[in-house]
Amino acid sequence: MRAPLFEQIHPEWQFELKVFKELIENIDAYLQDREITPSRDKIFRALINPIESTRVVIFGQDPYPTQGHANGLAFSVDNSISPLPASLRNIYKELQDDLGATRTNGDLGDWAEQGVMLINRILTTDVGKSLSHERLGWQEITESVASVLGKRNVIAVLWGNSAQQLRTHFSEHSIITSVHPSPLSAYRGFFGSKPFSQVNKKLSSRGFSKINW
């Protein structure tokens, strides 16, 4: 038997999001027998760790709609995916320009293991259809996640309009913002924004170790 969606998140997040339990159950019922991405067991991958382990949060918009691409972490894909999605390629280009770091595979699980939460505003979509689940209520849930993290002084990386809607939940000195890394906008201010070195500078000023990007 498949575990209910709500039970797949860390108990600390279950406590914080308990007011949304019925909504999550309704979404879970809606998703039954639909061809969705990411797979059901990865929908809440960003919320499987204790809250205190999160030092940085990067918000995306919604999952990659291509079958097999989304793996439950915003912007991330499994190592087997080639070529990488365009937004992720742009993220890596900026990482190279910012810190001289080179990445070739698309799985950002190592960032998550270091305390970087990678979470989309909308956690599911139908295969082949971007934003097809934008009216299910995911934004209410992920805005609550932002509120919880903001109260804990987590550094928020807000790329694009959808993510920037959450800036009121974070103190100004904890926010790093730019346009979205999508090819449609990256040249209007994402390239050259140096988000990775900015994050590490803020972490160091707070006595935390830097992220190995």
As annotated, the active-site residues are 62
The type of residue at 13 is W
Please state, in angstroms and rounded to a whole number, the distance separating the CA atoms of residues 139 and 206: 30
Q: Report yes or no: 179 and 188 within 8 Å, Cβ to Cβ.
A: yes
Which of these, 80, 78, 58, 83, lies nearest to 160 by C-alpha position?
A: 58
Length of the chain: 213
Q: Report yes or no: 148 and 170 within 8 Å, Cβ to Cβ.
A: no
Q: Where are the alpha helices (DSSP H) in 70-133?
A: 86-99, 109-113
Rg of the chain in Å (alpha carbons):
16
Q: Where are the alpha helices (DSSP H) in 43-177?
A: 86-99, 109-113, 138-150, 160-164
